Amino acid sequence: MKRRIQDLINSSNYIFEEYLEDKGNKFYTFYKEYDGIVLNKNVPNLNQNELTNVCFEKYSNLDKLGRCGQVTACIGRERFTTKKRAYIGHIIPSGWHSLKFNCIQGKYLYNRCHLIGHQLSGLDIDNNLITGTRYLNISQMLPFENAIAGYCRETGNHVLYRVTPIYKQDNLVAFGVLLEALSVEDCGKEICFNIYLYNRQPEINIDYKKGYSKEIEFSFSNDII
């Protein structure tokens, strides 16, 4: 399982924090060049007092702008559900717009993106749903969620998992999400990561202030044509 996490990182367009020139603005500066950043040599900064083999979920209240905050959970297979996900179309996360582009599979730019994934027992509530691109939700977050779910199912062990949406000032759409995870019973031997993922979509420019977006226009010279 640890090899699976490492392979996932190695095969992704991430940069390690130590190679960044502008570490102070790392959450906002490099989103057009990379999909994410491996932070603190991939070691999470989790609260040791929350390491437990008893499942729990802790959701932050929405802030004054209606934005989700940090979510922490102890993930275990005993809490996994086989129930179909509840209808969430009535939940409107901050910065939400129903936008469609032909360059996106499924066409819709935004998903109602769970911070703690539904398969990991995350609730279908407004405190757990952000406006996330399809690329963030499906291509970036889901593989890490699948790794956690697979580990818990195979071993019966638990994973302390924390997801933190990162906003720039009073923007309504998160610039990215910080994922931190540590397997409890083996002290991080199998699951251990600290990854910041940009909330981006290839070929689309996003206005993180309000959530509007437009397709990137490409121009070609006659020499190329």
Q: Where are the domains of the chain?
A: 2-213
Which single residue is written with the structure tokens 């720039």?
168
Give the pLDDT of residue 214: 81
Here the tokens at position 204 are 């689309």
- Identify the architecture of domain 2-213 in CATH: 3-Layer(aba) Sandwich (3.40)
At 149, which helix (H) or strand (E)? Answer: helix 142-155
Confidence category of residue 224, pLDDT binned at 50, 70, 90: very low
Report pLDDT for 219.
Answer: 40
Residue 25 is predicted with a pLDDT of 83
> How many residues are listed for the chain in this entry?
225
- What is the distance between the alpha carbons of residues 70 and 161, in angstroms, rounded to a whole number? 11
Nearest to 165 by CA among 213, 191, 127: 127
Q: What is the mean pLDDT of residues 217-224?
A: 41
Total-model pTM: 0.92
Spatial separation of the C-alpha atoms in residues 70 and 164, rounded to whole Å: 4
Q: How confident is the model at residue 217 (pLDDT cuts 50, 70, 90)?
A: low
Tell me what pLDDT residue 133 has: 96
pLDDT higher than threshold 60 for residue 209? yes
Given a cut of 80, is residue 104 above it in pLDDT? yes
Q: Show the tokens assigned to 9.
A: 């990182």
CA distance 12 to 36: 8
Which candidate, 72, 68, 40, places its Cα nearest to that of 56?
Answer: 72
Work out the average pLDDT over 45-67. Answer: 95
Q: What are phi and psi of 22, to 5 degrees?
A: -115, 80
pLDDT tops 60 at residue 92: yes
Biggest CA pair distance of the chain:
64
